[in-house]
Amino acid sequence: MSPYFDVAAIRREFPAAARMVYLDSGFQTPLSRPVKEAFESFLHEGYEAAGPKSVWLERLEMVRAKVAQLIGASPGEIAFTKNTSESMNIAANALPLGAGDTVLMIDGDHPNNVYAFLNLKRKGVRVRFIPMTDVVDANCFLPHLDSSTRAISMSHVTFHAGHRFDVESVGRLCAERKFHFVVDVMQAIGVVPIDAKKIGATFIGSGTHKGLLVPQGLGFLYWNKSFKELQPTYLATAGLARPPADFIAREDNMALAPTAGRFELGNFNLPAVQALGAALDLVERIGVENIQNHCFDLGDHLIDRLDQAGIALVGPRERARRSPHIYVIGLPAHDWLDYFAANNIRVSPERDGIRVSLGMFNTRADIDALMTAIGRRGVSRPSRAA
């Protein structure tokens, strides 16, 4: 039972959750019935009617508006991309960075964010890393600022230990010092409420295959449209304010779209966009705050059970510092992963143990099944952050 929403009803929408103990939403979401039906209706339309592209594009604009609403932005500030990596690369290359400029990042942050900025080395841009600690906020960056600092980029929630960093304080620091701020919300979106304006980022990037419930291959990029001077590195017709009606490209009239559409390239992943619309309706129906609270409650239960079993939690324990849904337990992955698989329990190996990650459909019974399986095998030596 959850005080927040009818979890049993939601769970029925995710049939995979009945077939296995699925504790791996931080890797990939299982698909829900509404998402499957959205894909099926796309296939039907393509199959039976050779694709009503204009209808699909109208729907795409509706989904864009839903993404915008989810993060407190306007539709014109949302570009569709392929995934987080593409979003972060578009952002990194649009920032006005040149030789001698420094970008601050967190040591050990997700490589798909970090490489986008390390790749700017070609332009003479340096990346400097601050240490990864349980708390990362504006104060952690202060000792590392100097006259070359131009931008900060970081994850909101870490994939490898479930930290939930104080992006809003870092955003305020960036605004005060006139730095650009780029945030990867891949592990937060759909589970942690996100307000783009409160975060104060120039760009926010994410994929949609975890908390936004669709398969891999679709992402988005939020662009704070007050930074009108930021331009895309690549250009396609869709990025223009006035695409030529005769489809003949000319050098004149290359003004950029006033929207985040300037960062989009070519045709879209239309089936996934349509599925995302259905997923966002589901998320909105439950409410991100409720999903967050439900996951926090399950996380509290997991932490209690780990404490009773004498098994360490890697990463922060306090709700104020942790993500609602990502918990790494201090059991060595190489010892335990096959065992969990053999017991029909889906979890992920992580740097420091086994990652348990929750979704809206999980219940205390899933946590208890995991802990019962651990108890059956027994923990031979005191657990530690491996």
Ligand X SMILES: Cc1ncc(COP(=O)(O)O)c(C=O)c1O
Among 25, 29, 32, 83, binds ligand X (CB under 6 A): 83
Q: Are 43 and 24 in contact (CB under 8 A)?
A: no
Q: Is 81 in the site for ligand X (CB under 6 A)?
A: no
Q: Kindly write out the interface string for residues 91-120 of this chain, putting x where it contacts ligand X by CB under 6 A and - elsewhere.
A: -------------------x-xx-------
How many residues form the binding site for ligand X (CB under 6 A)? 13
159 sits near ligand X (criterion: CB under 6 A): yes
Residue type, 209: H
Between residue 191 and residue 230, which ones bind ligand X under the rule CB under 6 A? 207, 219
**How many beta carbons lie within 10 A of that of residue 2, not counting itself?**
17
Binding status of residue 84 toward ligand X by CB under 6 A: yes
Tokens of 203: 């760009």
Report the helix count and the strand count for the chain, using DSSP H and E. 13, 13
DSSP state of 183: E
CB of 35 closer than 8 Å to CB of 43: no
CB of 350 to ligand X, least distance (A): 11
Neighbours of 236 (CB within 10 A): 15
Q: Which of 272, 159, 267 is nearest to 214 (CA)?
A: 272
Among 184, 264, 350, 352, binds ligand X (CB under 6 A): 184
Segment contacting ligand X by CB under 6 A, of 181-189, 190-198, 232-240, 357-365: 181-189
Q: Could you tell me where the beta strands, DSSP code E, fall in 3-71?
A: 21-22
Q: How far is the CB of 219 from ligand X (least distance, A)?
A: 6
Q: Which stretch binds ligand X (CB under 6 A): 31-39, 83-91, 259-267, 275-283?
A: 83-91
For residue 217, what are its two tokens?
């291959």
- Our CB check for ligand X shows the closer of 152 and 374 to be 152
By C-beta, is 94 or 311 nearer to ligand X? 94
CB 151 within 8 A of CB 179: yes
Residue 85, interface with ligand X (CB under 6 A)? yes
Of 141, 135, 133, 97, residue with least CA distance to 116: 97
- Residue 350 as a binder of ligand X (CB under 6 A): the answer is no
User: Rule CB under 6 A: is residue 274 a binding residue for ligand X?
Assistant: no
Contact residues: ligand X, CB under 6 A = 83-85, 110, 112-113, 155, 159, 184, 186-187, 207, 219
